[in-house]
């Protein structure tokens, strides 16, 4: 079973980014207009309008940048279950990617995440030094035993189905 982001999900993210970019343009235009009016004369209303439109354009620019980054990250990520292991490739932070291949016979437990609104689960592997399973951050192997798998653009239903299938394959229960 392989789970990748669908084209429809990418297009939905692109539409959200375009809407955010359009709102950023309107806020920036309002900032320019408020600067023009402020040059005509000083008043509290004009200063307030400049502050609100300026802060709004900065926040919307930051939001657009984050959405653009989500599109880039979601395009190359995947989760895969084969007959004997789990393979995941997902973004971590600061443009870095983490990946893993965790073999079912080395999995100690699988725990569903508890953060509200963020579908995720944790896979704990045994601390054995001779294990075949590995966790990478970029291309550097990590010594940790816990790997967090996050839903990054996957549908909630598909992610839950993947989670249940993994629990069945690795531990034999749902």
Q: How confident is the model at residue 20 (pLDDT cuts 50, 70, 90)?
A: very high
Mean pLDDT for 92-103 is: 81
User: Which residue shows structure tokens 């980014």?
Assistant: 17
CB 110 within 8 A of CB 86: no
Model-wide pTM > 0.85: no
Q: Is the pLDDT of residue 122 over 80?
A: yes
Top-confidence range, 45-54, 73-82, 117-126, 163-172 = 45-54
> From residue 111, how far is each of 99, 108, 125, 126 by CA, in Å?
18, 10, 12, 14
From CA 112, how far away is CA 129, in angstroms rounded? 26
Three-state SS at 140: strand
Here the contacts of 90-96 (C-beta below 8 Å, separation 24 or greater) are 90/149, 90/150, 90/152, 91/152, 92/137, 96/137, 96/138
CATH architecture label of 78-171: Roll (2.30)
Mean pLDDT for 23-37 is: 93
Mean residue pLDDT across the chain: 84
User: Which residue shows structure tokens 């207009």?
Assistant: 33
Identify the weakest region by mean pLDDT among 24-28, 65-69, 89-93, 170-174: 170-174
């Amino acid at each position: 079973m392989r789970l990748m982001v669908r084209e429809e999900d990418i297009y939905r993210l692109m539409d959200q980014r375009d809407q955010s970019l359009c709102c950023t343009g309107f806020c920036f235009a309002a900032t320019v207009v408020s600067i023009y009016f402020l040059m005509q004369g000083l008043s509290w209303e004009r200063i307030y309008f400049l502050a609100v439109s300026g802060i709004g354009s900065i926040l919307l620019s930051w939001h657009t940048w984050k959405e653009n980054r989500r599109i880039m990250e979601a395009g190359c990520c995947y989760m895969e279950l084969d007959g004997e292991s789990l393979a995941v490739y997902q973004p971590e932070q600061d443009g870095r990617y983490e990946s893993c291949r965790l073999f079912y016979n080395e999995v100690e437990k699988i725990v569903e995440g508890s953060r509200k609104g963020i579908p995720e689960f944790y896979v704990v592997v045994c601390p054995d030094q001779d294990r075949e399973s590995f966790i990478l951050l970029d291309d550097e192997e990590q010594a940790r035993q816990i790997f967090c798998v996050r839903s990054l653009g996957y549908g909630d239903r598909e992610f839950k189905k993947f989670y249940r299938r993994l629990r069945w394959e690795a531990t034999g229960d749902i």
